Structure 1
C-alpha cells in the first residue's frame, strides 16, 4: 500500500447525509474522515431543486400536521413503507431543519417573513420549504460544505473506496481506497458510514451526476450486507427533453413547477393527467411518469409538454429551470417546455434501520444508498433531503454509542490487496438497463438484460477509479435485475407489463438480496434490517 490513514468514523460520500453525519460525529468528539469520489461539492444533493418536505409546528398550513405528512408518505409508498420508520424520520424533520439553519442554510421567505412553502406531487398541503427558488440542494450543500471546512474535518477529495475491510467475525475494520492517481491505500476505521448516493448512471438518461454509480450498494453487498427493494427506481416525470432523445445527465424540471400550477400536455395539446389520478398533475411520481411514457407512445412522440406559461415571474421563482430552458432556446414564460422521464432516485438500497445500522457490525448507511423503510415502493417528493439530514445525524449518534459500548473492532487488518471484479462495458450496460429495466418491465426483457450482462462481464483487476465504478455498476445492475424479476407484480415505481396488477396477498413485503459465500446473488427474507439501539 502506498498510503494509509485512520479515524473513528469513515464517511464515504459528501452529500447531505454524509456531511450531516460528519458534523454530528465531530460534535460527539469522534475522529472523522470523509472520502469523496470527486470534489467535496459533488454528488446528488447539489442538484436537488424542489425542496425539503417538513411540518414545522410554528410555521405550517393550519390544516396540516405530522400525521398528514406520514399519511401522504405511506400512500406514496404503496404498502411497503415501514410505518414506525416513517413516523420517526418525519418527526425529526423540524429539529433537523433548525440545525441546518444554524449551520448557515438560508431558505426562501414570504412577505410575512416566514419560510415560504410550496406543494409537490402526493402532498395534501403546502409543506415543502425551498431555497434560491429551485436551488435548494445547492444551498444545503453549500452550508454543509462550509461547516465541514470551517470545522476542520478532513476530506479526501478525488478518492474512491474500492472495498470494505473486515476483521475478526466479519466486523468492519476500514476500507481499501484509491487516490486521484489510482494509488491504493488503507483507511483504518472501526465504523464506516456509506452515504454514496444513488445509482442513476445505470441508465442512459438520468438526473444524477456522473459519480452516481451505485458504489454503496456494491460495497455493502461484497461486505455481507443485505440489499432491500432495489427494484424500485423512481423515474422523475419531467426532465428537459433534448432533440434526439435524453442522454446522460439531463436538467431536472422540478415538480414544484407543477405545484405552482403548470400542467402536462401531449404534443396534440391534450391534458396528460385528466382522468388518471384524483390529484391530476400532482399525482405521485410513479403515476405521472407512467402516464407520460404511455401518452408519448400513443402520440408517437418521445416527449410531452409542460405548460408553465401561466406562472407569473417564472424566471424569479425557478431560476435554475429557466436558465436550463434558455440554454436550449426555450422560453418557458411564453412556450411549453418539452419534458420526458429519466432515472432519478433509488427507493431501495442497503437495508438499515432509522439509526443507519445495517446487518454488518460497524457498517452504517444513510441517504439515498440506504433503505430505511421511509420510501417504500415510491418516494414522496422532497422527503429525500429530509431523510439525509435526520438519518445522517442519527447514524453518527449510533456509531458513537456503539464505539462507546465497545461493540466495534479497532483491529488493524494485515495484508490488503485490490480485488478483481466482474465489469461490463458501461455503454452496453446503460443501453441494456434503459431498454429492459426502466419504467416498463417484463420477465422476457429482464431475463434478456441479465443474460447480456452475465455474458459481457469480464473479471478485471481494480487498478483504476473507472474500473471500480464500472464494477459497481455491474453488480448493482445485476442485483436490480434479480430484484425486479423476483417481484412479479406492479407496485409503486416498479411496473411489470406481464404482471400489471398489485398483489397484496403474496408480495406485500420487501425484496432482500445478499451475496452468498461463492459470490452469487441470493434472495433473503431478511428484507429491511431492524436492530435495537
Structure 2
C-alpha cells in the first residue's frame, strides 16, 4: 500500500464545516479531500432556511440558547448552547465580509425569519431559500484564493489509521471507482467534516453521498458516538417521488403557510399550540400520521405567500414546477423525510473526539448542541462555530506555515458495492428506524443490517454505512422512552426528570446486534 506523509492538516470533507475550517486554519497549510467538485455534494449547499443568530436588538444569545434547550427536549448541554449562540452574530458578520449576500432591510439590517420552536425571528436568510448555496459559493471562492489550502477532488476517505486511541492517517480511494485499492495519507492533524447520515434512509433530503460514512469510519477506528438514535425528520419534504426528496423550507411556515390534509382541513392547531411552528419532531409525526392514514398532507402557501413564492422562494418553486405542482395555485404535497442527524462522533468544545489526533465538526459531530431535537437553522451555525473551534485548537499544536502540495496517485480496481444492497439498507432504515419505532422493528433492523454487512466484509465503504446504521438502531433500541425526534410507540412517554445523552462504541453496538442474532429463530 502506498503511504504518503505530509505536514499539512488533512480535512476530510467538502461542505461548510470543512471549507470554514480550512479558512480559519490559514495560513497553516491544509489539504482538503473532496469526493466531488468542492461543495457540490454537500448537504450544507442544499440548506434553504439560513443561519440562526440573535442579530436583532430585541433578541439575545440567551434567548436563542433558551429556545435551543427547549427544542432539544432535555438533552442539550447548556454550556454548549451558550457557547454557540453567543458566537452566532460574529459568524454572520464574518460571512458577510467574506461575500455572503444576506437579505437586508431598507435600512441595512438583516432580514430574519421565524422558524419552528424559535421565540423570535432570528434566521438570517439569503435570497429567500438559498442560504446554503450562497454561503458555500462565497466560501469556496475564498478557498480558491487562499494559497495555504490545497483541494484534492475525486478522492474519498474510506477509513482511518488508528490503534483505538489515536488517529494517525486516513485511507483514500478514487471516488470514481467504487472499491478502488486504498492509499494511506498521514497528516499533522486530521479533521472529519463529512456530513451526517440521513442518506441511509430511503426517504431523505440529503445528497446521495451523505450516508454516514464519516461517522462509520470514526466508529470503526474506536471513537465514541453520542446520541446516535436522534435522527431528525423534516416534516415538509416535497412528496413528488424524487430521491432525494426536495425540501420546502420551514421559512414558508414562518411566513404563514399552513399544513392541510387531503380534505383541506388544517390539522396542526389540533395537535400543538404553536401549530405549524411546533418543534420539528411534533410536526413530522403529525405529517407521518396523515400519510399513514391515507390523507396525503400538503403545505398550503396560497393565502399567506401567494404569487410572491416565485421570487421569495425560488428553489421551492422550481422543485414544485418540475414535478407539475404550481405552488401559487396548488397546495404542495409533503412528507416527513430524514433530514439531519443530531448524533455523531462525540466532541468537546474544541472539536476533539475521543481519539487523539482526530477533530470532528459539522453534522458528523455530536457536540451536545442539538439534544433530541435540533432547533431549526442551528445546523449551519453549529458547523461554523465548531469549525473555528477545531482550527483554533489545531493551531495550538501545529506551527509550520509552508508545506509542499500532496501528490496523490489513486489506484483503480477492487470490489464494488452492490447498489441493490445499499437500497435494501436504506429501505430497512426507513421501515424500522424511522419516524415511529418499536422494539420488534429495531431488532429486525439490526438483523437485516447484519445480513447485508455479511455480504460486504471486504468493502470499507459499505462497512462504514452499516456501522453507522447499526449504531443508530442499537441506540434507538436501548433508549426505552420517547424524547424529541426519537419516538417509540411501545414507550410513548419520556422518562421523568432531566434527559440524558447516550454514548456507544461500535463494539458495544455490535455486541448488542450479535445477542439479538442469537435470540432470533
TM over 0.5: yes
Is the Cα contact below 8 Å between 1:419 and 1:461 reproduced in 2?
Answer: no
Q: Which one is further off, 482-491 or 40-49?
A: 40-49
Match of 1:159 in 2: 155
Instruction: Supply the distance in 1 between the matched residues of 2:398 and 2:415 (Cα, whole angstroms).
Output: 32
Is the Cα contact below 8 Å between 2:129 and 2:312 reproduced in 1?
Answer: yes
Match of 2:68 in 1: 73
CA 1:68–1:493 in structure 2 vs 1: closer, same or farther (change >3 Å)? same
Q: RMSD value over aligned CA atoms?
A: 2.4
Instruction: Supply the distance in 2 between the matched residues of 1:447 and 1:518 (Cα, whole angstroms).
Output: 12
2:337 corresponds to which of 332, 336, 342: 342
Instruction: Supply the distance in 2 between the matched residues of 1:517 and 1:446 (Cα, whole angstroms).
Output: 16
Structure 1 residue ranges without an equivalent (≥5): 406-417, 523-533
Q: How does 1:21-170 map to 2 (within 5 A)?
A: 21-26=21-26, 29-42=27-40, 43-56=42-55, 60=56, 62=58, 64-152=59-147, 153-166=149-162, 170=165
SS at match of 1:333: coil
Instruction: Supply the distance in 1 between the matched residues of 2:499 and 2:509 (Cα, whole angstroms).
Output: 29
Structure 2 residue ranges without an equivalent (≥5): 401-412, 514-521
Match of 2:462 in 1: 470
For residues 244-275 of structure 1, give each alpha carbon's deviation from its aligned partner in whole angstroms, at most 9, with x where no partner exists.
xx452011000000000100000011112012
SS at match of 1:108: coil
Match of 1:236 in 2: 234
Q: Which one is further off, 174-183 or 82-91?
A: 174-183
Match of 1:249 in 2: 244
Question: 1:487: how far off?
Answer: 0.3
CA 1:278–1:481 in structure 2 vs 1: closer, same or farther (change >3 Å)? same
Q: Which one is further off, 509-518 or 432-441?
A: 509-518
2:202 corresponds to which of 186, 204, 208: 204
Question: 1:171: how far off?
Answer: 2.1
Question: 1:213: how far off?
Answer: 1.2
SS at match of 1:112: coil
CA 1:206–1:7 in structure 2 vs 1: closer, same or farther (change >3 Å)? farther
Is the Cα contact below 8 Å between 2:6 and 2:188 reproduced in 1?
Answer: no
Match of 2:222 in 1: 224
Question: 1:434: how far off?
Answer: 0.8
SS at match of 2:481: coil
Question: 1:3: how far off?
Answer: 6.5
1:269 corresponds to which of 245, 264, 269: 264
Instruction: Supply the distance in 1 between the matched residues of 2:414 and 2:161 (Cα, whole angstroms).
Output: 11
TM-score after normalising by structure 2: 0.90
Match of 1:14 in 2: 14
SS at match of 1:239: strand
TM-score after normalising by structure 1: 0.88
Instruction: Supply the distance in 2 between the matched residues of 1:518 and 1:314 (Cα, whole angstroms).
Output: 46
Question: 1:96: how far off?
Answer: 1.3
SS at match of 1:402: coil
Match of 1:386 in 2: 381
For residues 37-94 of structure 1, give each alpha carbon's deviation from its aligned partner in whole angstroms, at most 9, with x where no partner exists.
22212210110001110012xxx052x2111111110000000000001100111111
Match of 1:499 in 2: 491
Question: 1:455: how far off?
Answer: 2.4
SS at match of 2:216: helix
Match of 2:442 in 1: 446
CA 1:518–1:6 in structure 2 vs 1: closer, same or farther (change >3 Å)? farther
SS at match of 2:158: strand
SS at match of 2:446: helix
Instruction: Supply the distance in 2 between the matched residues of 1:136 and 1:370 (Cα, whole angstroms).
Output: 22
Is the Cα contact below 8 Å between 2:320 and 2:327 reproduced in 1?
Answer: yes
Is the Cα contact below 8 Å between 1:118 and 1:259 reproduced in 2?
Answer: yes
Q: Which one is further off, 194-203 or 452-461?
A: 452-461
Instruction: Supply the distance in 1 between the matched residues of 2:138 and 2:213 (Cα, whole angstroms).
Output: 25
